[in-house]
Amino acid sequence: MKIAVLKETKEKENRVALSPHVVKSLVASGFECIVEEGAGLKSYFADLAYTTAGATIVPDSKSAYAQGDVIVKVNAPTSSEIAMMKSDCVLISFMWASTNPELTKALAEKGITSFSVDAIPRISRAQKMDALSSQSNLAGYKTVIMAADTIGKIFPMMTTAAGTIKPVKVVIMGAGVAGLQAIATAKRLGAIVEVSDIRPETKEQVESLGGKFIELKGDDSIKTEGGYVKAVSDDFLKKQQELLFKHITHADIVITTALIPGKKAPVLVTEEMVKHMHFGSVIVDMAVEQGGNCPLSELNKTVVKHGVTIIGESNLPSLLPMNASELYAKNIQEFLLHLATKDGFKWEMDEEITKGSLITHKGQIVHPSLKQ
């Protein structure tokens, strides 16, 4: 079975789907790997590293798509990329299918079988395949480093002959994978860290990392699934904003990570809060691509509003492309070896991981959440 690795075409994307190390492992398992020329350069993987690992380099994407039985990508394909794929190939990538109906329709019409790595069930035996977690972990780290580079202060308390410097106060909204890594990174740098999350079960994790948990009583409007918040009422969001006003307006750095799959990101940091923040404070809005947790953030821009610097970088893992690609490649390897052998796919249609991640198959949209 031939696995094709493509050069990513999305703007600001530096990752690649397979690293040379993983290619070597897959080749040893009996797969054949075809890599588009220059696919790994932005991740600091030279073509020579792929050929040394046993891959074949092809000159362009058309050649790779024409030969690939399995297409592995980071981002969802464009319509022009779908047109180059073989009708009986298998695609594995991030797809965000619930918010991308035109993509799923195009894949089904072409007869392409597709698996979306963001739809892999959040179960213990799928942890090694969990690309959402591997990429969010790096993103959480990078947010703190970006904030530290932007703010005009050092993080730790420092006593000098000229006086004592107070530690930076960081407020982190959301204690998921990204939020927890942000807590750990900010604490390692010496900051005072406060954390808000509407899931009370995250309190112990926050405190184990040295963060102070901001208590907020939940209500029946909060719906969670697989450890993620799926829905929350406007009334609850208002109560949350009222409680957080004091914490946010006294913070030096605010990092927001709150997302609701398939919906616009909830507003957590209002313009009124920003107006009351210290001059020179920093906000890093990790939800900017889904509308933002702060209405003043702008996609892929760093802006200054009311004296506060607001960072709206949409693709944080791509800023750490070597690590991000290595981890993503390992996720893809584990996922592929679960689904297939060198001789073909197992097609265990009732198996939980297969069923949860399969989007299109045999000309049909098959994922349960998308059929309607």
Tokens of 305: 């509003």
Tokens of 312: 């709206």
Residues 321 and 44 sit within 8 Å (Cβ to Cβ): yes
As to burial, measured by CB atoms within 10 angstroms (0-12 exposed, 13-18 middle, 19+ buried), residue 150 is middle
Catalytic residue among 47, 60, 199, 228: 228
pLDDT for 225 equals 53
Residue 241 catalytic? no
pLDDT for 192 equals 97
Residue 122 catalytic? yes
At a CB cut-off of 8 Å and minimum separation 6, what does 320 contact? Answer: 138, 141, 142
Other residues' Cβ atoms within 10 Å of the Cβ of residue 199: 17
Residues 188 and 181 sit within 8 Å (Cβ to Cβ): no
Contacts of residues 45-48 at CB distance under 8 Å and 24 or more positions apart, as own/partner, are 45/16, 45/19, 45/20, 45/322, 45/325
pLDDT for 370 equals 83
Tokens of 124: 């213990």
Other residues' Cβ atoms within 10 Å of the Cβ of residue 249: 18
pLDDT tens for each residue of the chain, 372 residues long: 999 999 999 999 999 999 999 999 999 999 999 999 999 999 999 999 999 999 999 999 999 999 999 999 999 999 999 999 999 999 999 999 888 899 999 999 999 999 999 999 989 999 999 999 999 999 999 999 999 999 999 999 999 999 999 999 999 999 999 999 999 999 999 999 999 998 888 999 999 999 999 987 765 555 455 555 555 667 777 777 788 999 999 999 999 998 877 678 888 999 999 999 999 999 999 999 889 999 999 999 999 999 999 999 999 999 999 999 999 999 999 999 999 999 999 999 999 999 999 999 999 998 988 876
Catalytic residue among 127, 208, 221, 233: 127
Residue 141 catalytic? no
Catalytic residue among 60, 67, 118, 122: 122
DSSP string, 17-72: S--HHHHHHHHHTT-EEEEETTTTGGGT--HHHHHHHT-EEESSHHHHHHH-SEEE
Residue 127 catalytic? yes
Give how far Cα 83 sits from Cα of 39, 101, 188, 217, Å.
20, 17, 48, 51
Residue 63 catalytic? no
Say how far apart CA 162 and CA 240 lie, in whole Å: 40
Tokens of 245: 């006003």
Tokens of 33: 């790997």
Q: What does CATH list as the number for 2-129+320-364?
A: 3.40.50.720
Q: Name the one residue in this structure whose structure tokens are 């112990």.
A: 204
What are the residue ranges spanned by the domains of the chain?
2-129+320-364, 139-319
Other residues' Cβ atoms within 10 Å of the Cβ of residue 339: 22
Angle (CA) 259-263-264 rounded to 5° is 70
Give how far Cα 368 sits from Cα of 119, 127, 338, 371, Å.
11, 22, 21, 6
Other residues' Cβ atoms within 10 Å of the Cβ of residue 183: 28
For the chain, how many residues are written? 372
Q: Which CATH class is domain 139-319?
A: alpha beta
Catalytic residue among 133, 135, 196, 325: 133
- Distance between alpha carbon 154 and the CA centroid of its chain, in Å? 28
pLDDT for 199 equals 84
Other residues' Cβ atoms within 10 Å of the Cβ of residue 206: 22
As to burial, measured by CB atoms within 10 angstroms (0-12 exposed, 13-18 middle, 19+ buried), residue 118 is middle
* Dihedral pair phi/psi, residue 70, rounded to 5°: -125, 125
The domains spanning 2-129+320-364 and 139-319 adopt the same CATH topology = yes
Catalytic residue among 65, 69, 93, 130: 130
